[in-house]
Amino acid sequence: MSGRVKPGAAMIFIVYNTNDDAVARGYEPWLRETDCPFFNTVPGIAHYANWKTVGPAPFAYFDFMVLTDPARLQDVWFNADMNAFRTEWVRLWGYGEKPLPMHNYSHVVTARRTALDLGRDTGWLSMGKGEPPAGIDTVFVVEGSLARHYAGADEAWYADAGVRSPLGYDWVGFSVEKPVSGDLVVAAEVVARP
């Protein structure tokens, strides 16, 4: 998938940290050479890209995983090849010494308004509660969360945001030219994309 994310597109938004020595051991080249190419071959994934935060944030990395169809969510999440790959990711890179609760989940978001160019290299990630402010290029509404079953979670694989909301925000925004207000705003740059 190239070009822009369309309104109504479903995406899995993944936030995480790694173990402290992961970058020194080659984590970012591994994302470019192994992780990103693998995820972009999984049936049901239209676009997968790895990003990192630049500046203070509760997580160092985030991924955009755009689905070909919202109805593919369960198929994608339980893809056997993906499960094996993600289990190996945890073994290689970990989640850091004290992962925050939000890191134990991935977050299902749906594009409300969008002008996100998937080919960009930098931007501003915003997250907030309530209604998102005007001026954000792309706004994703948080619909629910996915438990990381491949990392040993023993709870429901999916829960609506009204039931389980570990991210703590109602929306995720991405702007290209300038930061836009939110409860959390951080600069970001792409690490790997197709």
Q: List, for residues 115-163, the tens digit of each pLDDT value.
A: 777 778 999 999 999 999 888 888 999 999 998 766 566 678 899 999 9
Has residue 98 been placed in a domain? yes
pTM of the model: 0.90
What's the confidence (pLDDT) of residue 1? 40
Domain contains 112: yes
Q: 126 pairs with which residues across the strands? A: 173, 185
The CATH number that applies at residue 160 is 3.30.70.100
What pLDDT was estimated at residue 111? 83
Tell me phi and psi for residue 136, to 5 degrees: -85, 130
Domain assignment of residue 182, yes or no: yes
If DSSP codes are grouped into helix, strand and coil, which group holds residue 138? strand
| Torsion 78-34-90-142 (CA) sign | negative
Residue-averaged pLDDT of the chain: 87
Full residue range of the structural domain in which residue 187 is found: 10-192
Specify the pLDDT at position 188: 95
Cα separation, 116 vs 7, in Å, equals 10
Express as a percent the part of the chain with pLDDT over 90: 49
Cβ atoms of 58 and 102 within 8 Å: the answer is yes
Q: Does 5 fall in a domain?
A: no
Q: Which helix (H) or strand (E) holds 86?
A: helix 80-93
- Please tell me the total count of domains within the chain: 1
Domain assignment present for 4: no
Q: Does the pLDDT value for residue 11 go beyond 50?
A: yes
Provide CB contacts within 8 A for 34, sequence distance 6+. Answer: none
Q: Tell me the C-alpha distance between 47 and 10, whole Å.
A: 11
